Amino acid sequence: MNLFDFSNGKEGYYGQYGGVFLPEILQATVNELLECFRQCKSDPTFWAEFVELMQNYSGRPTPITHMANLSAHLGGAQIYVKREDLNHTGSHKINNVIGQGLLCKRLGKSRVIAETGAGQHGFATATMAAKFGLDCTIYMGAVDVARQRPNVFWMENMGAQVVAVQDGQKTLKDAINEAMRDWVTNMADTHYVLGTACGPHPFPEMVSWFQSIVGQEARAQMLEQTGRLPDRIYACVGGGSNAMGIFQGFFDDDVELIGCEAGGHGAGSSLHAARLAYNDASVGIAQGFKTYFLQNDQGNMNETHSIAAGLDYIGINPILAYLWEQDKVRFLAATDDEVREALKLTMRTEGLIPALETTHAFAKAIEEAPSMGKDEIILINQSGRADKDIFTVAEALDDNKWKEFIKTKAAQYQQERQ
Amino acid sequence: MGLQSYIEQRKADKSLLVMAHVVCGYPSFEANMAELEIMAEAGVDLVELQFPFSEPSADGPLFVRANEMSLQNGTTVNDCFEFMAAVTARFPFKVLMMGYYNTVFKLGEEQFLRRLKAAGGVGYILPDLPIEEAGSLHALSAELGLEPIILMTPTNSDERLAQLAAAARGFVYVVARKGVTGSKTQMGDDVAALVARCRAHTDLPLGVGFGISDRSDMEYLRGHADMAIVGTAALRAWEQGGAEQLRQFFSDLVAA
């Protein structure tokens, strides 16, 4: 299956999803980006340079871990995990960011901008900018800045300017709008490092391409470690970049692919970010592309909610929307409560700390594994780790000892100031 | 009478026309009506009524907030069309819908155009709908006698300007500079050169917008462009000093 040959003649479209819906002022910039991307994609030395950098800088290839204890505990399928959490900066986000950094150098641009929700992508972009010597501005909703101070701390220490966006819901989508406004002003020297496989063409294709390194590795590793391919693969889906990354390794195989969205407070609650697993989203055009959005009948976007800021987004990757429509990817949603329980179980049985985003995939795999045979195999993409998000996780788990610690620390700072 | 003829006719008596902008439902439809009254008194030739959208990514801070507040007030697409009908019945200036494509898409292109026509609008400006995606909407518009207003920008190549010119109807909206609406544009050789480049590709009237805020901008545009497009500066005047300041703003602006 080649999704990217656009043999129907509609460049940038996957079925009816995708496209480019941007102000005219960006037309030349997006064309320039598309042309540069096409050159990079057809140049084997570009990919080789990318892979080498990912090995030396980020620790690739990331391993695959057999979760023997969890599998035995559940009594069904054998569960394996692709360890994207072991990347530098703690998630798969670095794959895309390093790729776009190399591309930015070819474009000859000296400045990068990015949006970020949970801060993972901003953190990764700031890291790349420091390494490549690029100026860097990160747009982050004011609400997210307030709840993700540790990532803001790291971004600022790496020399990035973090702008707290005060518009709209003050979260990820508003950060994207603000990054767009910067881009329409400064496109001459600035590349927009979009963090997920959403937005206008060529971003969905480009981000998917950089993330495809995950699936390429995983397929070979599964064959080597287990002698066969997995039966099912679970990945969490916010924008959809880590899911696209791992799924692409298995499109031509008989493997069931499962996207796990943010169920928040559950179906019918309206406090969630499940575009495909629940029935609340409809097709629309926003933020530069056409896909399923959580919106009202007037076409205005709804408020979304998730325990995991990185999944809390109104729209979904257009490629995944298309694959879902074609019955090639199944979609489920994990609620906040299911995520909390899955995280506790994974930590206790395996000593792994998946990010809250990632834990949505764990929750659904844990739910379905017991009804599968012991000789069947599940692969989960562990897109990120949570140990560095201790503030968020401790709050999600409502940990009283942590709260006491923070109070003591705050009192100590207060006293020092006086 | 088509928009192009209307503009050419008005230009017989005036050296530079003015198009003004109102965000529907912000601060309220009553206030919008008062603003339009002042614009009509000042002899404004054309008005864009912006239908609020939750993701106005081509707008600057003042309009972003106006969109947001209007939606919080509960403004619907239906309210906007009803308001447009009242406006076109009351004032002599021509009216365009301005907004984002999702508003059109959700309503359905044909339904949108029929309602626009019924409300007395003459066309629309959709900054996030590139011509490549506008085929069906433009074709339907031609059937119904509605005019899509196309934007030409400083980053467009000559080849692209030619493509844009082929799709343009009524007049061309020349974007004076990079960026979003609302910040000041230094009128000068760059703007003149851009207008001349656009002129080389189209015989339609040229309106210049983005950052037009006072009489000196108007004086500069006279002789270069056919129409000045004023948005943020007028809203700022209204926010700062209500009807009185807005009246002052327009009388300063149009004073020859």
Domain borders along chain A are 14-55+92-203, 60-90+212-396
ipTM of the complex: 0.95
| pLDDT bracket for residue B256 (50, 70, 90) | low
Q: In CATH terms, is domain B3-251 a member of 3.20.20.70?
A: yes
Percent of chain B whose pLDDT exceeds 90: 89
pLDDT, one tens digit per residue, over A77-134 is: 999 999 999 999 999 999 999 999 999 999 999 999 999 988 999 999 999 999 999 9
Q: Tokens for B248?
A: 């002052």
Q: Quickly name the fold that domain A60-90+212-396 has.
A: Rossmann fold (3.40.50)
Distance from CA of A29 to the nearest CA of B (A): 8
The residues of B assigned a catalytic role are 48, 59
> With bands split at pLDDT 50, 70 and 90, how would you rate the model's confidence at A173?
confident
Predicted confidence (pLDDT) per residue in A326-335, tens digit:
999 999 999 9
pTM of the full predicted structure? 0.96
CB contacts of B154 in chain A (<8 Å) are: 25
DSSP secondary-structure letter at A384? B
Q: Pick from B80, B64, B88: which is nearest to B112 by CA?
A: B80
Q: Do A298 and B77 touch (CB under 8 A)?
A: yes
Of residues A175, A165, A185, A157, the one with CA closest to residue A114: A175
CB-CB contact of A313 with A173 (8 Å): yes
Best residue in A11, A290, A296, A300 for a mutation probing chain B (most B CBs within 10 Å): A300
Contact A184 B179 (CB under 8 A): yes
Alpha-carbon distance B248 to nearest alpha carbon in chain A (angstroms): 30
What residues of chain A lie within 8 A of the CB of B128, using their CB?
A: 21-23, 285, 288
Q: What angle do CA A311, A314, A319 make, to 5 degrees?
A: 80
Q: Look up A115 and say whether it is catalytic.
A: yes
Average pLDDT of span A362-390: 96
Assess B155–A contact: CB distance below 8 Å, yes or no. yes
> Where does the pLDDT of residue B182 fall: very low under 50, low under 70, confident under 90, or very high at 90 and above?
confident
Strands across the sheet with B206-209, in order?
B147-148, B123-125, B94-98, B46-50, B17-23, B227-229, B206-209, B172-175, B150-152
Q: Name the average pLDDT for chain A.
A: 96
- d(CA A233, CA A243) in angstroms, rounded, equals 9
Cβ contacts of A187 on chain B, cutoff 8 Å: 155, 178
Q: Is the pLDDT of residue A277 over 90?
A: yes
Q: Give the dihedral of Cα atoms A20, A26, A31, A37; nearest 10 deg.
A: -80
* Cis peptide bond prior to A230, omega within 30° of 0: no
B11: contact with A, CB 8 A cutoff: no
The 3 state secondary structure assigned to B195-231 is HHHHHCCCCCCEEEECCCCCHHHHHHHECCECEEECC
Token pair, residue A336, equals: 């906040």
Question: Structure tokens of B129?
Answer: 């709908």
Residue type, A176: I
Task: With beta carbons under 8 A apart, name residues in chain A contacting B127.
Answer: 23-24
Mean pLDDT score, A275-286: 98
Distance from CA of B73 to the nearest CA of A (A): 13
The pLDDT tens digits for B123-136 are: 999 999 999 999 99
Chain B CA closest to residue A29: B155
Q: Tokens for A334?
A: 């994990």
pLDDT at residue A161 greater than cutoff 80: yes
B166: closest CA of chain A, how far (Å): 15
Q: Mind listing the pLDDT tens digit for each residue in A226-256?
A: 999 999 999 999 999 999 999 999 999 999 9
Domain A14-55+92-203, CATH? 3.40.50.1100
Q: What number is the average pLDDT over the span B168-173?
A: 98
Contact A364, A339 (CB under 8 A): no
Task: Select from A168, A287, A299 the Cβ nearest to the Cβ of B105.
Answer: A299
User: Which pLDDT does position A91 carry in this prediction?
Assistant: 95
* pLDDT number for residue A226: 98
How many contacts (CB atoms, under 8 Å) link A and B?
111
Mean pLDDT of the A296-314 span: 93
The backbone torsions φ and ψ at residue B97, rounded to the nearest 5 degrees and listed phi first, read -85, 135
What is the predicted pLDDT for the residue at A388? 79
What is the DSSP secondary-structure string of B71-93? HHTT--HHHHHHHHHHHHHH-SS
Q: Which chain A positions have a beta carbon within 8 Å of B178's beta carbon? A: 25, 184-188
Does residue A156 surpass a pLDDT of 70? yes
Q: Does B159 touch chain A (CB under 8 A)?
A: no
Between positions 172 and 231 of B, the ones with CB within 8 A of A are 175, 178-180
B76, B130, B160: residue with CB nearest A21:
B130
